[in-house]
């Protein structure tokens, strides 16, 4: 089955063909660690983790990298406010990020580089661009000559003239051209490094290019991130790669839409955010994953408590079906069969069609109806149920939402069998008593 998805660079849905057979090299822009991440920041974390899970399930080895921007004007500002070092601020929020990341059950990345660990490589890269004539020094700063790169604006679908007339560029007297962007900026404030261009720190757009090149050494398959990164960040990354290495940075560019609050873009600077750490204190992390995956990745999500409650109800249906199926097989000593039902093909087809998690979720809920119907049958087809468990777990694992369940002990089995017998015999008083004992043990049925 071909995997197809929308390539932001070509503006079309394309068949995925990795540069190296059976290997997927993927880079997703990570957070600038000056604050906690909000639910909008969590969307690419959850979505690209799901993409990775699906690709691995199709037999690919996936090397997924996501970075930390641990030096930035906003980090310096926070450090000054709290009267601590920039490193302390960055480490505080990196640790908070990993805490939320692990609660969400995301798979460990191949690498998670920090900008501050790559300064020497960044300086060498900037010098290379200067030597090639693509960058120039100006009063302690270094800028990139945008007009030297052919097809600049292809990713964001705009020309240089449109950018300039639309005021999408910074006016700076140090620049040769208003569209040029900074690679190195001189500073006397905050964390800084010595370089041939003077004391300062790198510009944001250079950092990811260098980290990608350091880790992968060449063009990668997929570069991902939020839509808001297309311009200027990803556009400028692409331009630098073309200038320095004479090839693009990635074959496929994959962008997810944002999460809004009350119909407005969620933004830390505006203060209209819902922190992920706070959501995870209220909702099961699987509910948070389901909230993100219930929508196609290219559609804006409008966050609300009402929607979260609705998603929580949907997850409870998923959990009940899983627990009922698992326990039915367990109590009858039926082992899962390592074969899939046809519903797996339906699920894979939706995931292979532009990672359509929304449609794939519809397959899951349709499958739940089939599971519940079979569980209610007077004559249960245990072979079907055994295959159903394998199929259902496959789907839930791609989404990263498989419920936790603990196998029963012998004494718990006896207790549940006694409860079922009491129900069959319509001894409801005994059944209620035994059910209370089962609940007190925290056993899911």
pLDDT tens-digit map of 269-284: 788 999 999 999 999 9
Say if residues 367 and 392 touch (Cβ distance below 8 Å). yes
Map tokens 């990775």 to a residue.
52
In the predicted model, is pLDDT for residue 363 greater than 90?
A: yes
Q: Rounded to an integer, what distance in angstroms lies between the CA atom of residue 65 and that of residue 30?
A: 9
| Per-residue pLDDT at 364 | 99
Number of Cβ atoms within 10 Å of the Cβ of 108: 9
Q: Please tell me the pTM assigned to this model.
A: 0.94
Packing angle, helices 343-352 and 382-399, rounded to 10: 20
Does the structure show a pLDDT above 70 at 168?
no
Q: Which residues pair with 162 in a beta bridge?
A: none
C-alpha span between 66 and 28 (Å, rounded): 5
- How is the chain split into domains, by residue range? 4-256, 410-440
The SS3 assignment for 254 reads strand
Task: State CA 175 to chain mean position distance.
Answer: 36
Q: What is the mean pLDDT of the chain?
A: 95
For residues 280 and 33, the answer to whether their CB atoms sit within 8 Å is no
How are strands ordered across the β-sheet holding 61-66? 61-66, 23-28, 220-226, 250-256
Contact 165, 158 (CB under 8 A): no
Pick the range with the lowest mean pLDDT from 29-33, 97-101, 156-160: 156-160
In the chain the first and final C-alpha atoms are separated, in Å, by 37
What pLDDT digit, counting tens, does each position of 181-228 carry? 999 999 989 999 999 999 999 999 999 999 999 999 999 999 999 999
Please check whether residue 237 is in contact with residue 183, taking contact to mean a CB–CB distance below 8 angstroms: no
143 falls in which pLDDT band (50, 70, 90)? very high
Region of residue 85 (phi > 0: left; psi between -120 and 50: alpha; otherwise: beta): beta
For residue 232, whether the previous peptide bond is cis, meaning omega lies within 30 degrees of 0, is: yes
Q: Cα(392)–Cα(341) distance, rounded to whole angstroms?
A: 9
The model's pLDDT over 313-358, given as tens digits with 9 standing for 90+, comes to 999 999 999 999 999 999 889 998 999 999 999 999 999 999 999 9
Q: How confident is the model at residue 165 (pLDDT cuts 50, 70, 90)?
A: low
**Whole-angstrom Cα distance, residue 348 to residue 344?**
6
pLDDT surpasses 90 at 35: yes
Average pLDDT of span 53-68? 99
The CATH number fitting domain 4-256, selected from 3.40.50.720, 3.20.20.105, 3.40.50.620, 3.80.10.10: 3.40.50.620
Q: 3-class SS at 159?
A: coil
Lowest average pLDDT, out of 112-116, 180-184, 422-426, 441-445, goes to 441-445
Is 193 in contact with 200 (CB distance < 8 Å)? yes
């Amino acid at each position: 089955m071909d995997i197809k998805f929308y390539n932001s660079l070509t503006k079309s849905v394309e068949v995925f063909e990795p540069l190296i057979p059976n290997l997927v090299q993927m880079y997703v822009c990570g957070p600038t660690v000056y604050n906690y991440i909000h639910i909008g920041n969590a969307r690419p974390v959850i979505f690209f983790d799901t993409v990775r899970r699906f690709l691995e399930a199709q037999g690919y080895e996936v090397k997924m990298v996501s970075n930390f921007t641990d030096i930035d004007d906003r980090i310096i500002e926070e450090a000054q406010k709290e009267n601590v070092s920039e490193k302390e601020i960055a480490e505080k929020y990196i640790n908070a990020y990993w805490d939320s990341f692990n609660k969400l059950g995301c798979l460990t990345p191949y690498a998670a580089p920090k900008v501050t660990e790559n300064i020497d490589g960044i300086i060498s890269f900037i010098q290379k661009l200067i030597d090639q004539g693509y960058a120039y020094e100006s009063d302690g700063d270094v800028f990139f000559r945008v007009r030297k790169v052919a097809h600049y604006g292809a990713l964001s679908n705009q020309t240089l003239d449109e950018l300039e007339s639309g005021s999408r560029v910074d006016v700076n007297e140090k620049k040769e051209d208003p569209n040029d962007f900074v690679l190195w900026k001189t500073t006397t404030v905050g964390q800084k490094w010595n370089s041939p261009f003077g004391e300062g720190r790198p510009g944001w757009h250079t950092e990811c290019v260098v980290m990608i090149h350091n880790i992968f050494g060449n063009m990668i398959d997929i570069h991902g991130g939020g839509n808001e990164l297309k311009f200027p960040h990803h556009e400028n990354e692409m331009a630098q790669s073309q200038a320095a290495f004479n090839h693009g940075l990635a074959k496929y560019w994959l962008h997810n839409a944002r999460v809004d609050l009350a119909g407005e873009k969620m933004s830390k600077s505006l203060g209209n955010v819902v922190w992920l750490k706070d959501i995870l204190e209220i909702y099961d992390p699987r509910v948070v994953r389901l909230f993100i995956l219930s929508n196609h990745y290219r559609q804006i999500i409008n966050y609300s408590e009402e929607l979260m409650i609705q998603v929580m109800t949907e997850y409870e249906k998923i959990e009940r079906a899983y627990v009922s199926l698992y326990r039915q097989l367990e109590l009858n000593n039926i082992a899962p069969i390592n074969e899939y039902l046809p519903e797996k093909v339906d699920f894979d087809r939706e995931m292979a069609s532009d990672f359509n998690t929304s449609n794939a979720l519809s397959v899951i809920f349709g499958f739940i109806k089939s599971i519940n119907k079979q569980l209610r049958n007077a004559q249960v087809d245990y072979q079907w149920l055994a295959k159903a468990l394998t199929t259902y777990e496959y789907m839930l694992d791609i989404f990263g939402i498989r419920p936790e369940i603990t196998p029963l002990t012998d004494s718990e089995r006896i207790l549940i069998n006694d409860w079922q017998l009491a129900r069959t015999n319509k001894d409801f008083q005994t059944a209620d008593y035994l059910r209370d004992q089962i609940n007190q043990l925290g056993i899911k049925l």
